[in-house]
Amino acid sequence: SAVISQKPSRDICQRGTSLTIQCQVDSQVTMMFWYRQQPGQSLTLIATANQGSEATYESGFVIDKFPISRPNLTFSTLTVSNMSPEDSSIYLCSVKWGSTDTQYFGPGTRLTVL
Amino acid sequence: DAKTTQPTSMDCAEGRAANLPCNHSTISGNEYVYWYRQIHSQGPQYIIHGLKNNETNEMASLIITEDRKSSTLILPHATLRDTAVYYCIVTGTASKLTFGTGTRLQVTL
């Protein structure tokens, strides 16, 4: 499977600030995804990020709040902007990889906003 | 994507087989059944997937009924490390994954 790393693994931030989360994959992949998992909840897809095109956001998520970059086939960033305590979540990136296009997940970034 | 229904929680004794059911009665012909698990706050781990034939890998077996309206994930010899939330997801390969609430499996001594 693809090996995915995320930085930072966790962070504690002040409200009103922004945090950029990095996702690095050890293989070139076309499709990358960003998910959010709020405390005690299941995963929710934020957006799909394909290299060379604008990210596609799911209902309830907007580019101004969660800008995404996808500069090449192995890297993506998600920024959580103007944070509030409600943004406290685990943020996960994932990729489709392999002959069966199976989706694999990174270890997640645990964000706490005070 | 078809909706799935899973029990909220299950218990299993260590060393015994864990059989996790999933109902997906509205599955369409080109949709696959995927299973993932999430061990406390880690990223979800891919387990197995199938279309209509039963599948087996080093982690688990997937049994899909002939009408494809339900499936069972089997962990043949559960260990404490298999304690996790297990998600059954039905989707086409070109589609996104939509996570439900899953089944919380507790493996006990």
Amino acid at B99: F
Looking at the complex, report in whole angstroms how far the Cα of residue B101 sits from the nearest Cα belonging to chain A.
6
Mean pLDDT of all residues in A102-107: 95
Q: Do B44 and A43 touch (CB under 8 A)?
A: yes
A49 inside 8 A of chain B by CB: no
Rounded to whole angstroms, how far apart are CA atoms B109 and B104?
16
Provide the token pair at A42. 């299941």
Question: Is pLDDT at A82 greater than 80 in this prediction?
Answer: yes
Question: Is pLDDT at B20 greater than 90 in this prediction?
Answer: yes
Q: Do B46 and A102 touch (CB under 8 A)?
A: yes
pLDDT for position B87: 97
pLDDT for position A66: 98
- 3-class secondary-structure state, position B80: helix
Mean pLDDT of all residues in A35-47: 96
Contact A34/A68 with Cβ under 8 angstroms?
Answer: yes
A43 inside 8 A of chain B by CB: yes
A44 inside 8 A of chain B by CB: yes
- pLDDT class for B24, splitting at 50, 70, 90? very high
Residue in B7, B99, B91 with CA at minimum distance from that of residue B51: B91
Average pLDDT score, chain A? 95
In chain B, the residue whose alpha carbon lies closest to the alpha carbon of A42 is B101
The tens digit of pLDDT for each residue in B41-95 reads: 899 999 999 999 999 999 999 999 999 999 999 999 999 999 999 999 999 866 7
pLDDT for position B1: 67
pLDDT for position A1: 79
- pLDDT class for A81, splitting at 50, 70, 90? very high
pLDDT for position A53: 84
